């Protein structure tokens, strides 16, 4: 199949290797650009653990502090792998979304164990802090990177869609899906999706993409990359 991958560039390039090895053609079209926030600092005073909901957050954290002894609770396998590669040794993996991560926190820690530092970007999906604070946990958000949306689709992407060359588009976040929808509609290309499948990591992605008339919406059984690739 000929697929568009919409993740930030570093993640898209890694995923493209996997997809090409499976025999697919890949067009990388990032909907978000990740930039560390200059001079950002992370407050680890009284920290019991680090909560990571993306590999982007992990990379920003690794550039901000040299400390590696704190336990890391990662939202999914990719984020956990990035944490280990960065030198963290006490890494636990949740089931792929913030609900699973909150459940993992409750398994591993009690509310009085200390502060949970949640490393986030400038735009936060879900309400992990609100969920945990409702149970008495102390959660400190640390904004270490920005995620800017793309302003327009690239010429190769528009041309491939207009020519009917694309079989599917892969989305890993509602924000990426919503951005793609907005840009496609601005270019007057919404109708091309009648012959294109959406592949999404979650029901929230499907909702964000619902303004386009996709041929099919294929949603992963669990919010993990392997589950999404199993749909192809």
What is the CATH topology of the domain spanning 35-148? Rossmann fold (3.40.50)
What does the pLDDT read at residue 224?
86
- pLDDT tens digit sequence for 31-77: 999 988 888 899 999 999 999 998 899 999 999 999 999 999 999 88
Pairing of strands 25-28, 115-121: unpaired
- CATH architecture of the domain 2-31+150-229 equals 3-Layer(aba) Sandwich (3.40)
pLDDT at residue 1 greater than cutoff 90: yes
CA 93 – CA 125 distance, rounded (Å): 18
pLDDT of residue 74: 95
CA neighbor of 229 nearest in space, from 53, 35, 15: 15
Residues in the chain: 232
Question: What is the per-residue pLDDT for 122?
Answer: 80
3-class SS letters over the chain: CEEEECCCHHHHHHHHHHHHHCCCEEEECCCEEEEECCCCCCCCCCEEEEEECCHHHHHHHHHHCCCCCCCEEECCHHHHHHHHHCCCCCEEECCCCHHHHHHHHHHHCCHHHCEEEEEEECCCCCCHHHHHHCCCCEEEEEEEEEEEECCCCCHHHHHHHHCCCCCEEEECCHHHHHHHHHHHHHCCCHHHHHHCEEEECCHHHHHHCCCCCCCEEEECCCCCHHHHHCCC
Per-residue model confidence (pLDDT) at position 62: 93
Indicate the pLDDT class of residue 125, thresholds 50, 70 and 90. low
What CA–CA distances, in Å, run from 77 to 73, 92, 111, 135?
11, 9, 25, 26
> At 27, phi and psi to the nearest 5?
-115, 120
CB atoms within 10 A of CB 191: 10
Delimit the CATH 3.40.50.10090 region(s) of the chain: 2-31+150-229, 35-148
The predicted model scores a pTM of: 0.83
pLDDT in the model for residue 123: 73
Tokens coding 139: 């959660």
Asked if 89 and 110 count as a contact pair (C-beta separation under 8 A), the reply is no
């Amino acid at each position: 199949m000929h697929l568009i991958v919409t993740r930030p560039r570093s993640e898209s390039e890694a995923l493209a290797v996997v997809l090409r090895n499976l025999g697919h053609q890949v067009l990388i079209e990032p909907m978000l650009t990740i930039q560390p926030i200059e001079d950002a600092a992370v407050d680890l005073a009284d920290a019991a653990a680090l909560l990571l909901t993306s590999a982007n957050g992990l990379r920003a954290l690794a550039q901000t502090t040299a400390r590696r002894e704190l336990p890391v609770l990662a939202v999914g396998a990719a984020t956990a792998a990035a944490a280990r590669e960065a030198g963290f040794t006490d890494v636990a993996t949740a089931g792929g979304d913030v609900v699973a991560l909150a459940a993992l926190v409750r398994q591993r820690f009690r509310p009085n164990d200390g502060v949970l530092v949640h490393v986030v970007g400038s735009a936060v999906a879900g309400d992990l802090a609100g969920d945990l604070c409702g149970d008495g946990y102390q959660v400190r958000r640390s904004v270490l990177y920005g995620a800017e949306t793309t302003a327009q689709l690239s010429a190769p992407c528009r041309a491939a869609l207009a020519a009917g060359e694309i079989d599917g588009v892969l989305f890993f976040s509602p924000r990426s899906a919503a951005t793609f929808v907005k840009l496609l509609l601005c270019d007057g290309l919404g109708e091309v999706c009648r012959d294109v499948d959406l592949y999404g990591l979650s029901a929230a992605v499907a909702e964000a993409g619902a303004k386009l008339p996709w041929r099919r919406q294929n949603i992963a059984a669990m919010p993990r990359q392997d589950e999404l690739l199993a749909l192809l």
